[in-house]
Amino acid sequence: MADEVPSPSAASTATAPLGSSVISLVNRLQDIFARVGSQSTIDLPQVAVVGSQSSGKSSVLEALVGRDFLPRGNDICTRRPLVLQLVQTKRKPDNDEYGEFLHLPGRKFHDFSEIRREIQAETDREAGGNKGVSDKQIRLKIFSPNVLDITLVDLPGITKVPVGDQPSDIEARIRTMIMSYIKTPTCLILAVTPANSDLANSDALQMAGIADPDGNRTIGVITKLDIMDRGTDARNLLLGKVIPLRLGYVGVVNRSQEDIQINRSIKDALVAEENFFRNRPVYNGLADSCGVPQLAKKLNQILAQHIKAVLPGLRARISTSLVAVAKEHASYGEITESKAGQGALLLNILSKYCEAFSSMLEGKNEMSTSELSGGARIHYIFQSIFVKSLEEVDPCEDLTDDDIRTAIQNATGPKSALFVPEVPFEVLVRRQISRLLDPSLQCARFIYDELIKISHRCMVTELQRFPFLRKRMDEVIGNFLREGLEPSENMIAHLIEMEMDYINTSHPNFIGGSKALEIAAQQTKSSRVAIPVSRQKDALESDKGSASERSVKSRAILARQANGVVPDPGVRAASDVEKIVPSGNTGGSSWGISSIFGGGDSRMSVKENISSKPHAEPVHSIEQSVSMIHLREPPPILRPSESNSETEAIEITVTKLLLRSYYGIVRKNVEDLIPKAIMHFLVLYYFISL
């Protein structure tokens, strides 16, 4: 049996030419891709070692190397993927063996205990010192005449119970990490399973079955054959009669924990393994499936054949990537060493950027057939978003009749019994004008964001060579545009304030109070279902009067008491209305009732009203009174009158007509002036500066 089990060095004689050519080539590619970070674009052939915790993975890897170099412990040992490249060197008299880490280029580790300490230290640097796990690789290359050319990836063992700083879902995370390696078609799977466990429940074979359902890429390794129950053996397992694998199984005998504690060498362990298989007749005829030397030989041959099979596709992918990279490299232009050349290059880049920005803003760039861009988007924001949104707003949509009634009754102060539409109109229209501020500021912000997008889109190709310059340009452009946004927003606020500060009721497009009253009366009259006969008669008599009398009576309709209750028409005689005299304050503000109705400010003062009433009854003394008359306290919150008289309906309709008319005037001003302000202070401010 011993003659049938060659050592790794003996096995290398037949396979060294193939292994040293294609495997070393893939190793060099792996080193290059690891440095440039291109592992995700091209998957290179490799062997991933998968197994549960304490399955014997580490012992198998150390047996393949022939040296102790992996961290040991009672808990999880492999906490980061270890990419192990075994490189066979020519045998020398000094039998030189050493290791190199990719993260420590140029440093050779001749003492393998130092390799173990560096793996542990590098693991702690990334995953922490309390059993944490990371998916960042550690790359180790071992040069020795006693190994075969093989590339292995030692993955963390599958664990069930978290320990230390491990998260509660540690099993799911490790399974996800393992699957990210073994799911690629270029990866061979070395599934390690202990012989003293049920093969059907093997975590390694279960995951391999998911990633490689046909078993074309999976090699089974059965460990711990020496501690199987008495009367049992692994012959059927190694023959593939339990779970068949196309690449077969290999059985090995690891060093026990006691062997490790007494520092039993791997060389002695390999001799003991050979004796184990020689002294077990059940394993006769399975020479190529027993022992670490046979595993090394099989891995070397299968990996070389696998690389040969995937090499054409790998070469095609590398060639495609090379063409794309060469094209990108050519687009960066030549390297300029001189200061003058660098200055000219910078000026050229900035000039191209300015030209590109101007072309996009003016619509002179390459037209897209799928979407609007540049200046077309700015025009769309002004006309289709800003203007259209304002036109869809009804100034009375958020005002209920109760809101207007409250404003009207609040406008009827203690010195007046007349409804003056201008007072509630001015209060309400200012409130509606103030609503135009937010969409105007939002429009400016939209244009600012659009200019930022244009600046990003017109970045010239040469800037890809200089990422720091591009980042700095983004910062400068952003600051510059913000400098233009601030005066734009200030101007917008001033425009809205100007509209609120001066309510121009003399505007030729303003409907006016008389016209509004006439329309309101017609609307109210047409909406009535039945008109009392007495009111029809009054209306007929009113039509017979003169034009001046009709004007006075139309204003008398709006007469109100201070508490908001409409007085009975029979209480006040026509002569009382005719006694209303103009106020003497003719030189005051032009915002009085005349500014809406076109006439003088006709209000009866409270003093004149009192003096005009005769005192027919004598005043009685307090002693003659029978009892005191007590007034009830006014409520803390006084609600407006809820009466729905014809007069109130006219008042509310008049107010709405005035609001809609004047709001339409202001809206047109805003629709015209806001885009102009934004163009002047923001867009053209930046455009001219270019």
Q: Mind giving me the DSSP string for 272-321?
A: HHHHHHHT-GGGTT-GGGBSHHHHHHHHHHHHHHHHHHHHHHHHHHHHHH
CB atoms within 10 A of CB 453: 14
Please check whether residues 261 and 383 belong to one and the same domain. no
Please check whether residues 286 and 362 belong to one and the same domain. no
Parallel, antiparallel or unpaired: strands 218-223 and 187-194? parallel
Parallel, antiparallel or unpaired: strands 46-51 and 150-154? parallel
Q: Residue 649 pLDDT more than 70?
A: yes
**Whole-number pLDDT of residue 398:** 78
Using a pLDDT cut of 90, give the percent of the chain over it: 21
**pLDDT for 305-337, tens place per residue?**
888 888 888 888 888 888 888 887 777 666 677
Parallel, antiparallel or unpaired: strands 150-154 and 82-88? antiparallel
Query: What whole-number distance in Å separates Cα of residue 57 and Cα of residue 99?
Result: 20
Contacts of 484 (CB under 8 A, 6+ apart): 681, 682, 683, 685, 686
Query: Would residue 638 count as lying in a domain?
Result: no
Between helix 467-501 and helix 646-678 the angle, nearest 10°, is: 150
**Whole-number pLDDT of residue 686:** 61
**Interior/surface letters 251-286, b for 16+ CB within 10 angstroms, e for the rest:** bbbbbeeebbeeeeebeebbeebbebbbebeebeeb
Please check whether residues 250 and 386 belong to one and the same domain. no
Q: Which of 294, 319, 342 is the last residue of a domain?
A: 294
Q: For the chain, what is the domain count?
A: 2
Query: Would residue 342 count as lying in a domain?
Result: no
The neighbouring-strand residues paired with 457 are none
CATH code of the domain in which 377 resides: 1.20.120.1240
Q: Residue 12 pLDDT more than 80?
A: no
**pLDDT for 284-307, tens place per residue?**
888 778 899 999 999 999 998 888
Please check whether residues 374 and 249 belong to one and the same domain. no
User: Residues 431, 451: contact at Cβ < 8 Å?
Assistant: no
Please check whether residues 253 and 396 belong to one and the same domain. no
Burial of 315 (0-12, 13-18, 19+ CB in 10 A): exposed
Q: Which of 229, 260, 294 is the last residue of a domain?
A: 294
Please check whether residues 217 and 363 belong to one and the same domain. no
Please check whether residues 247 and 361 belong to one and the same domain. no
By residue range, what is the domain housing residue 126? 44-294
CB atoms within 10 A of CB 151: 23
For the segment 346-364, the average pLDDT, to the nearest whole number, is 81
* Closest residue by Cα to residue 190 from 28, 25, 74, 306: 306
DSSP class of 371 = S
Query: Would residue 256 count as lying in a domain?
Result: yes
* Mean confidence (pLDDT) of the chain: 77
Query: Would residue 255 count as lying in a domain?
Result: yes
Q: Residue 14 pLDDT more than 90?
A: no
Please check whether residues 158 and 286 belong to one and the same domain. yes
Please check whether residues 229 and 82 belong to one and the same domain. yes
Please check whether residues 366 and 282 belong to one and the same domain. no
Query: Would residue 432 count as lying in a domain?
Result: yes
pTM for this entry: 0.53
Which one is predicted more confidently, 643 or 575? 643
Please check whether residues 173 and 282 belong to one and the same domain. yes
Binned at pLDDT 50, 70 and 90, residue 360 comes out as: confident
Please check whether residues 267 and 130 belong to one and the same domain. yes
Query: Would residue 133 count as lying in a domain?
Result: yes
CATH code of the domain in which 208 resides: 3.40.50.300
Side chain identity, residue 117: R
Query: What whole-number distance in Å separates Cα of residue 55 and Cα of residue 61?
Result: 12
Q: Which of 248, 276, 294 is the last residue of a domain?
A: 294
**Whole-number pLDDT of residue 581:** 35
Query: Would residue 252 count as lying in a domain?
Result: yes
Which of 47-56, 67-76, 205-214 is least confident? 67-76
Query: Would residue 221 count as lying in a domain?
Result: yes
